[in-house]
Amino acid sequence: MTTVDTTTMAQALNAAMLDAMDADERVVVFGEDVGALGGVFRVTDGLAAKFGDDRCFDTPLAEAGIVGFAVGMAIGGFRPVVEMQFDAFAYPAFEQIASHVAKLRNRTRGQLALPLVIRIPYAGGIGGVEHHSDSSEAYYAHTPGLKVVTPATVADAYSLLREAIDDPDPVVFLEPKRLYWTKSTVQLPVRTEPFGRAVVRRPGTDVTLVAYGPSLPVALDAAAAAVEDGWSVEVVDLRTIVPFDDDTVVASVRRTGRCVVVSEAAGFAGVGAEIAARVQERCFHSLHAPVLRVAGFDIPYPPPMLEHHHLPSVDRILDAFDRLQRDDQPDTRFLALGSAK
Amino acid sequence: MIEFRLPDLGEGLTEAEILDWRVSVGDVVGVDQIVVEVETAKAAVEVPIPFAGTVARLHGEPRSVIAVGQPLISVTTPDEAAGSGNVLVGYGPGAAPSRRRRVARALHPAPPAGESPGVPRVLSPLVRRLAATHAIDIRALKPTGPGDVILRRDVEAAIAEGADDFERIPLQGLRRAIADKLSRSRREIPDATTWVDVDATALVQLKNDLAESCPEAGIGFLALLARICVAGLRRYPELNARVDLDRAEIVRFPHVHLGYAAQTDRGLVVPVIHDAHRLTLADLAGQLRARTEEARQGKLSPRHLTGGTFTLNNYGVFGVDGSTPIINHPEAALLGVGRIIDRPWAVDGEIRLRKITQLSLTFDHRVCDGAAAGGFLRYVADRVERPQTLIAHL
Amino acid sequence: MADRKHDDGWAGLLPSASPVRFLTDSGTPVRGRPAYREPAPELLRAAYRAMVLGRRFDTQATALTKQGRLAVYPSSHGQEACQVGAVLALDESDWLFPTYRESVALVTRGIDPVEILALLRGDAHCGYDPRRHHVAPQCTPLATQTLHAAGLAYAERRTGSGRIALAFAGDGATSEGDFHEALNFAAVFKAPVVFLVQNNGYAISVPLSRQSTAPALAYKGIGYGVRAEQVDGNDPVAVLAVLAEAAAHARAGNGPFLLEAHTYRMAAHTNADDATRYRSDAEVDRWRRRDPIARLEAYLRRRGQLTDEDVAAVAAEAEEYAARLRAAINTDPELAPLGLFDHVFGAPTPQLREQHALLRAELQAEEVPA
């Protein structure tokens, strides 16, 4: 069904599942509260009513159970699209994800493929109490065998979820929960760029700002604010962490000569660190300045009243731009490191 | 949308009758604002709403009865209006500031200089490569960046200095202007040089005689040469010209503005004596003195630096004989005069020591052929050797 | 009193066939005596007061959330008998392992309400000192605290302190793997822990019928060899009676006890939930008629153990409590952003010190007027 409408990201995800279920009766949606309630964020709203209890259903409260059950159903010919209610509540399922979802194709030399999708609302910025704002993407990105996808726009939410459901490989589909209510006028159904393709959301000439998921809005805000300081910022939206689009990112950094990666997850050993290492290695000879990261602190996610100190802000990104060695000014942050105390 | 249900207003109330709405659909209400007056079994009670928002619906007309726990009034909250929706577990997404708040930068302390072992610090891989490409040894550079970081300008300076120890004098200012003019002359003018040795004994004698008889005139060798050149140019006007390429014409001047080379502290200067063809020998000498003094003091006016039609260059003061002079573009000819020294010369069939000098004429071969040039040079040479012939055409 | 069920071997581990109750829905005594000792009148009066106070706290917290002073509040309205019973049946030094819905239990324990609400207000993950109150931080991930309770209880047994632990869990939480592991560990290690399952019929929107097909959740005990019982969770007399027995069982070294209390979540999952999507008003009304406070009040009044003056006094006390809470919550908390780097480890790493310095510099830069 084609509609042109002002749609929220949650509605676009809902439409993607509806269209996918329409197109293929093997697609089933299950998890906690996805049935009658329609999901705590209303992303599965109306699916149970339209397709019945066999296609969209609630499960007992057990995340390992949900994922393990999905593995079995996928082997049995279904295409499960399961929901973990929140990022931190997916952890009980991690063994199933790491040991089985990620490895089954490999262990069986392709005999048992798992075309399943694990949808997880993630990241913060919603004023949520603890365990509701985790950025857990690094755990999945670091587990070979999982595709890790994270839309940042309404159109991508629809398109990437459709593609995830069609993909023969398991996909961890990370939905930036703070963007659930962002609106856009889109014509659905829509197909945007496929997996493995990052997109330049804002062209620029001086610095490449790489972002994904919940950080795209703050990256765009920072790019707009930086005009005042004389920076022309190019913003790249990764869209899929695995598979990673080296080409687009590298082409951009080779043009600009400078790169800042923004990610709200704790910086140490985060996805931002992988991106920075890849850029440094591939673009070394084009770099005017070190590749920088603007990330969350290495602390457990703070209580709601303090989260804004932790999350990458426009100010913090602009401060990173100040370190990009314009006008032959070296970045001095770490020069004193290692000298006599 | 939030529904506010009729609360238990006290003492086991089960229902209430709506007496009077205090708000209408579309009104914005604040927390604890009285929205309705209801009547219970006991009394009329004003009911406050515990949240803020915009009234969406009133669930009952006045005089209708609402049971406790039934919807009383519905409002849309500001959250929803902004599109954030209710969040199950938190305050909801706040509006993050999207412009810079901080004015002051958080600066990092400058690290102590002079303590950087290991690989020399260079601003960026690009700059390091720049140095390598130009075979600059970065270990030999003096870094000017904080923390002993070698900056791009340090490398560029080293490149500019080069790895040699030549003395380099900048080509700028007057020196640059002269260089450009000389280059242009050679580039544009197909010049040829012809020269002749002359016996200047008579001219030297004349100079001495004039010095004795008319000392106030101050007529020197250069003035005499200048007067002879002027006479020569009257006889051979082809050489008092220039080539106008734009109009494809040779322009011959009716006047002689005579330039002459003067060496000053600031370099070679060519003062111009306008209308030299109208001046007597004494006048010429006077002009030469005046212009030369002005040149030495750097006070020559633009008029006396421009407009020349022919140039005379007495480089004999340097102790040399001949040269291939460079025409003073856009003129067509330049006469150079070397030193006057005693040389053996044939006089009346015998070798005598005479005052010999060499005259070199460089001319633009486009304005005339060898006959004219040679004619001019011979003419000048004859006047130098027998100055008394000047009087015939005085 | 002899614990005759315990003497019957494994059959003695099984719960009663129907939930134990002392009171009818209207608060009159049931026919026949349940096999548990009725709590003393003083305890029942104390329970009444605590329940009224707890409900007033709950209502006030709900109102504060609607006013935006709290980020979220999961109400335990209707579950007061369990909330209060769990605390009054235990000693003050026994450990409690609450979930996010146990605020009223924590109020009953005597923790400052502002400290209790810090988690839900959002200024701290846990506002009270767990060691001081022997109450673990309120736990949001489900059933994970049941394992903690089992381990703590085992430690208490090892040290011979005589203390026991009580873990709260909901019907949904009994589906989590950790619940299974906790019961098993507690049984194998004979940990003195009471698992109080408040079966309020829903895990957010998922009804019990979708959660389990066990004849009652109490029957989960037998699988681990754990003694279990089921009780009318809205009958405060029954709840206190059975919990007393459960605590004694554990304290006597007989290992864990699983108690399923049948109750009902009168409000939605939180203020942001819309319960009309998955349950009917008729069902809610049915449970409203089994209100625990009303039933206890009726029971005590009938026995002359509660007078009008008592009721009025308790109500007034509750109002005062609510007013103090309002005033306290309506004052903005003091926030210390630089404290984010404390307590990540015992002592901060060099990287954390560096990040602390960065944030400090940012905050100082912000203080400079433009």
Residues of chain B with CATH 2.40.50.100: 2-107
Set of chain B residues whose Cβ sits within 8 Å of the Cβ of C272: 86-89
Confidence of residue B95 (pLDDT cuts 50, 70, 90): low
In 3D, which of A192, A96, A210, A111 has the Cα closest to residue A146? A96
Cβ–Cβ < 8 Å for B310, B333: yes
- Asked if C311 reaches chain B (Cβ–Cβ under 8 Å), the answer is no
Cβ–Cβ < 8 Å for A219, A168: no
Q: Which of A129, A180, A285 is facing B125, going by the closest CB pair?
A: A285
**Coil vs helix vs strand at A205:** coil
Q: How many CB atoms lie within 10 A of CB B35?
A: 20
Chains in contact with C, where contact requires at least 3 CB pairs less than 8 Å apart: A, B
Q: What is the mean pLDDT of residues C1-11?
A: 60
Verify that A7 and A130 share a domain, yes or no. Answer: yes
Structure confidence by residue, pLDDT tens digits, A155-188: 999 999 999 999 999 999 999 999 999 999 999 9
pLDDT at residue B250, rounded to an integer: 95
Verify that C210 and C187 share a domain, yes or no. Answer: yes
CA–CA dist A273, A241 (Å, integer): 12
Verify that A18 and A159 share a domain, yes or no. Answer: yes
Verify that C191 and C228 share a domain, yes or no. Answer: yes
Cβ neighbors of A92 (< 8 A, separation 6 or more) are A62, A63, A64, C141, C176, C177, C178
Q: How many CB atoms lie within 10 A of CB B315?
A: 18
Verify that C354 and C235 share a domain, yes or no. Answer: no
Instruction: Could you please state the CATH topology (level 3) that the domain comprising B174-393 is classified under.
Output: Chloramphenicol Acetyltransferase (3.30.559)
The token pair that represents C211 in the structure block: 């959660």
Verify that A203 and A181 share a domain, yes or no. Answer: no
- A340 domain residue, yes or no: no
In 3D, which of B81, B75, B147 has the Cα closest to residue B109? B147
Give the end of a domain, one of A127, A154, A187. A187
- Helices A246-256/A271-283 angle, 10° precision: 60
Cβ–Cβ < 8 Å for A256, A207: yes
The token pair that represents A259 in the structure block: 């790169």
Return the active site residues of B: 365, 369
**Coil vs helix vs strand at A110:** coil
Cβ–Cβ < 8 Å for B159, B170: no
> Which residue in chain C is spatially nearest to B3 when comparing CA positions?
C274
Verify that A32 and A135 share a domain, yes or no. Answer: yes
Verify that C237 and C298 share a domain, yes or no. Answer: yes
- A116 domain residue, yes or no: yes
Verify that C172 and C197 share a domain, yes or no. Answer: yes
Q: What is the mean pLDDT of residues B223-241?
A: 95
Cβ–Cβ < 8 Å for C185, C151: yes
Cβ neighbors of A230 (< 8 A, separation 6 or more) are none
CA–CA dist B233, B252 (Å, integer): 11
Q: What is the mean pLDDT of residues C13-29?
A: 97
The CA-CA-CA angle for residues B226, B232, B238, to 5°, reads 120
Verify that C220 and C342 share a domain, yes or no. Answer: no
Q: Decide if pLDDT at B171 tops 90.
A: no
Verify that A132 and A207 share a domain, yes or no. Answer: no
Q: Which of C125, C204, C359 is facing A130, going by the closest CB pair?
A: C125
CA–CA dist A45, A26 (Å, integer): 19
Determine how β-strand C227-232 pairs with β-strand C257-262: parallel
CA–CA dist C23, C31 (Å, integer): 9
Structure confidence by residue, pLDDT tens digits, C100-152: 999 999 999 999 999 999 999 999 999 999 999 999 999 999 999 999 999 99
Mean pLDDT over each residue of chain B, to the nearest integer: 86
Confidence of residue C8 (pLDDT cuts 50, 70, 90): low
Closest CA–CA distance from residue B2 to any residue of chain C (Å): 9
Structure confidence by residue, pLDDT tens digits, C27-45: 999 998 899 999 999 999 9
What order of strands is seen across the sheet that includes strand A117-122? Answer: A56-58, A27-31, A79-83, A117-122, A171-176, A147-149, A240-242
CATH class belonging to B2-107: mainly beta
What is the Cα A90 distance to its own chain's centre?
15
- A341 domain residue, yes or no: no
Give the end of a domain, one of A161, A187, A213. A187
pLDDT at residue B85, rounded to an integer: 47
Q: What is the CATH number of the domain that holds C121?
A: 3.40.50.970
Verify that A128 and A215 share a domain, yes or no. Answer: no
3-state helix vs strand vs coil in chain A, percent to 5: 40, 20, 40
Task: Look at A225 and B99 and tell me if their CB atoms are within 8 Å.
Answer: yes
Verify that C348 and C274 share a domain, yes or no. Answer: no
- C1 domain residue, yes or no: no
Verify that A79 and A17 share a domain, yes or no. Answer: yes
Determine how β-strand A292-296 pairs with β-strand A259-266: parallel
Cβ–Cβ < 8 Å for C148, A330: no
Q: Which of C72, C364, C370 is facing B89, going by the closest CB pair?
A: C72
pLDDT at residue B106, rounded to an integer: 47
Cβ–Cβ < 8 Å for A119, A156: no
- A143 domain residue, yes or no: yes
Q: Which of C71, C361, C366 is facing B91, going by the closest CB pair?
A: C71
Instruction: Identify the residue among A94, A305, A308 best suited for mutation to test binding to C, counting C beta carbons within 10 A and taking the highest.
Output: A305
Return the active site residues of A: 132
Q: Decide if pLDDT at B381 tops 60.
A: yes
Task: Look at B106 and C270 and tell me if their CB atoms are within 8 Å.
Answer: no
Return the residue matching tokens 């049946």: C89
- Asked if C357 reaches chain B (Cβ–Cβ under 8 Å), the answer is no
Closest CA–CA distance from residue A255 to any residue of chain B (Å): 13
Tally of domains in chain A: 2
> Residues of chain B with pLDDT > 70: what percent?
86
Set of chain A residues whose Cβ sits within 8 Å of the Cβ of B119: none
Verify that A159 and A233 share a domain, yes or no. Answer: no
Verify that A41 and A148 share a domain, yes or no. Answer: yes
Side chain identity at residue B134, one-letter code: H
Closest CA–CA distance from residue C287 to any residue of chain B (Å): 14
CA–CA dist C123, A304 (Å, integer): 7
Closest CA–CA distance from residue B36 to any residue of chain A (Å): 32
- Which letter does DSSP use for residue A37 in this model? S
Structure confidence by residue, pLDDT tens digits, A49-68: 999 999 999 999 999 999 99
Set of chain C residues whose Cβ sits within 8 Å of the Cβ of A306: 123, 335, 337, 340
Q: Decide if pLDDT at A238 tops 70.
A: yes
> Which residue in chain A is spatially nearest to C68 when comparing CA positions?
A127
CA–CA dist C136, C145 (Å, integer): 9
Chains in contact with A, where contact requires at least 3 CB pairs less than 8 Å apart: B, C
Verify that A135 and A60 share a domain, yes or no. Answer: yes
pLDDT at residue B82, rounded to an integer: 40
What H or E segment, with its residue span, contains residue A82?
strand A79-83
Structure confidence by residue, pLDDT tens digits, B20-70: 999 988 888 876 678 898 887 656 777 877 777 889 889 999 989 888 778
Task: Look at A328 and B102 and tell me if their CB atoms are within 8 Å.
Answer: no
In 3D, which of B169, B171, B194, B196 has the Cα closest to residue B183? B171
pLDDT at residue C165, rounded to an integer: 98
| DSSP collapsed to 3 states, chain C | CCCHHHHCHHHHHCCCCCCECCECCCCCECCCCCCCCCCCHHHHHHHHHHHHHHHHHHHHHHHHHHCCCCCCCCCCCCCHHHHHHHHHCCCCCCEEECECCCHHHHHHHCCCHHHHCHHHHCCCCCCCCHHHHCECCCECCCCHHHHHHHHHHHHHHHHCCCCCEEEEEECHHHHCHHHHHHHHHHHHCCCCEEEEEEECCEECCEEHHHHCCCCCHHHHCHHHCCEEEEEECCCHHHHHHHHHHHHHHHHHHHCCEEEEEECCCCCCCCCCCCHHHCCCHHHHHHHHCCCHHHHHHHHHHHCCCCCHHHHHHHHHHHHHHHHHHHHHHCCCCCCCHHHHHCCCCCCCCHHHHHHHHHHHHHHHHHHCCC
- C24 domain residue, yes or no: yes
CA–CA dist B34, A305 (Å, integer): 30
pLDDT at residue B104, rounded to an integer: 47
Q: A145: left (phi > 0), else alpha (psi -120 to 50), else beta?
A: left
- Asked if A341 reaches chain B (Cβ–Cβ under 8 Å), the answer is no
Verify that C248 and C354 share a domain, yes or no. Answer: no
Confidence of residue C357 (pLDDT cuts 50, 70, 90): very high
CA–CA dist C122, A132 (Å, integer): 12
Tally of domains in chain C: 2
Task: Look at A33 and C206 and tell me if their CB atoms are within 8 Å.
Answer: yes
> Which residue in chain C is spatially nearest to B104 when comparing CA positions?
C365
CA–CA dist A143, B53 (Å, integer): 46
Verify that C133 and C90 share a domain, yes or no. Answer: yes
Structure confidence by residue, pLDDT tens digits, A296-332: 999 999 999 999 999 999 999 999 999 999 988 899 8
Structure confidence by residue, pLDDT tens digits, A105-134: 999 999 999 999 999 999 999 999 999 999
Give the end of a domain, one of A143, A166, A187. A187
Verify that C341 and C230 share a domain, yes or no. Answer: no
pTM check: above 0.80 = no
Instruction: Could you please state the CATH topology (level 3) that the domain comprising B112-170 is classified under.
Output: Dihydrolipoamide Transferase (4.10.320)
- Asked if B96 reaches chain A (Cβ–Cβ under 8 Å), the answer is yes
Verify that C243 and C354 share a domain, yes or no. Answer: no
Q: What is the CATH number of the domain that holds A329?
A: 3.40.50.920
Structure confidence by residue, pLDDT tens digits, B74-88: 888 765 544 444 566
Cβ–Cβ < 8 Å for B50, C66: yes
Q: What is the CATH number of the domain that holds A137?
A: 3.40.50.970
pLDDT at residue C181, rounded to an integer: 97
Task: Look at C175 and A132 and tell me if their CB atoms are within 8 Å.
Answer: no
What are B358's strand-pairing partners? B197
Task: Look at C362 and B106 and tell me if their CB atoms are within 8 Å.
Answer: yes
- A339 domain residue, yes or no: no
CA–CA dist A184, A161 (Å, integer): 17
CA–CA dist A328, A310 (Å, integer): 31
Q: Which of A224, A284, A318 is facing B125, going by the closest CB pair?
A: A284
Domain that holds residue A292: 199-333
Q: Decide if pLDDT at B5 tops 70.
A: yes
pLDDT at residue C356, rounded to an integer: 97
CA–CA dist B98, B117 (Å, integer): 42
In 3D, which of B79, B383, B110, B16 has the Cα closest to residue B224? B383
Cβ neighbors of A175 (< 8 A, separation 6 or more) are A9, A13, A43, A119, A120, A121, A122, A150, A151, A157
Structure confidence by residue, pLDDT tens digits, B101-131: 665 454 555 555 555 557 788 999 999 999 9
CA–CA dist A180, A44 (Å, integer): 13
Residues B32-41: contacts with CB under 8 Å, at least 24 apart: B35/B4, B35/B72, B35/B73, B36/B72, B36/B73, B38/B6, B38/B9, B38/B66, B40/B9, B40/B10, B40/B13, B40/B16, B41/B13
Task: Look at A319 and B105 and tell me if their CB atoms are within 8 Å.
Answer: yes
Cβ neighbors of C5 (< 8 A, separation 6 or more) are C12, C13, C35, C227
What is the Cα B252 distance to its own chain's centre?
37
Structure confidence by residue, pLDDT tens digits, B332-371: 999 999 999 999 999 999 999 999 999 999 999 999 999 9
Verify that C205 and C244 share a domain, yes or no. Answer: yes
Cβ neighbors of C211 (< 8 A, separation 6 or more) are A60, A61, C171, C172, C174, C175, C203
pLDDT at residue C172, rounded to an integer: 97
**Coil vs helix vs strand at A145:** coil
The token pair that represents A111 in the structure block: 């005999």
Task: Look at C210 and A40 and tell me if their CB atoms are within 8 Å.
Answer: no
- Asked if B392 reaches chain C (Cβ–Cβ under 8 Å), the answer is no
Set of chain B residues whose Cβ sits within 8 Å of the Cβ of C63: 50
The token pair that represents A200 in the structure block: 């330049």
In 3D, which of C135, C184, C144, C185 has the Cα closest to residue C163? C135
Q: Which of A33, A59, A310 is facing C340, going by the closest CB pair?
A: A310
Domain that holds residue C355: 337-366
Set of chain B residues whose Cβ sits within 8 Å of the Cβ of C370: 103
